[in-house]
Structure 1
Amino acid sequence: MVHILLFASLAQQAETEKVSIDVDSTRSVEEIRSLLQNQVGQLNGIEHALVAVNEEYVELTDEVKDGDTVAFIPPVSGG
């Protein structure tokens, strides 16, 4: 089970801040992102989001394993 945290506009689009996905093997962050969108629907802007696994920023090619927590953090603009 991989636990996913969504922030800001991504949480609004998914209508939840937390999602869990069953995984049968180690997956890349990019694969987890695809599985997430298959489960909750298309999330606009997720391709620009920062990604953290277990509270450390990672790249899309980094691995995610059972029990990990993945956070998708969209860019924030303001002034």
Structure 2
Amino acid sequence: MNNVLFFAHLKDEVGVESLQIEAKGKSVLALKQEVHETYGLSSIDSVMTAINEEFAEDDDVIQEGDTIAFIPPVSGG
């Protein structure tokens, strides 16, 4: 199993801060699509993704026990 973390408005859309999802062997893009279909996240395409606290690309493959974080873009002032 994998721990999937949601930050900022993503957490509000999903309704929880984290989920346990079986993502081993999936690409980051495949997991994004699964989360979008299951939870209706409107802006999942524009989020940054980290695996085990290191930024990841859509074609990176998730391993057993990895922690995946979805981080929406932020703006500052």
Alignment partner, residue 43 of structure 1: 41
Alpha-carbon distance between aligned partners in 2 of 1:12 and 1:19, rounded to the nearest angstrom:
13
- TM-score with structure 2 length normalisation? 0.89
Number of residue pairs matched by the alignment: 77
RMSD of Structure 2 on Structure 1 (CA) = 1.3
Unmatched tracts of structure 2, length 5 or more: none
For 2:50, what is the secondary structure of its paired residue? strand
The 8 Å contact of residues 4 and 69 in structure 2, kept in 1 or not, is answered as yes
Over 3 Å off, 4+ runs: none
- TM-score with structure 1 length normalisation? 0.87
Alpha-carbon distance between aligned partners in 1 of 2:35 and 2:43, rounded to the nearest angstrom:
13
Unmatched tracts of structure 1, length 5 or more: none
Alpha-carbon distance between aligned partners in 2 of 1:48 and 1:71, rounded to the nearest angstrom:
13
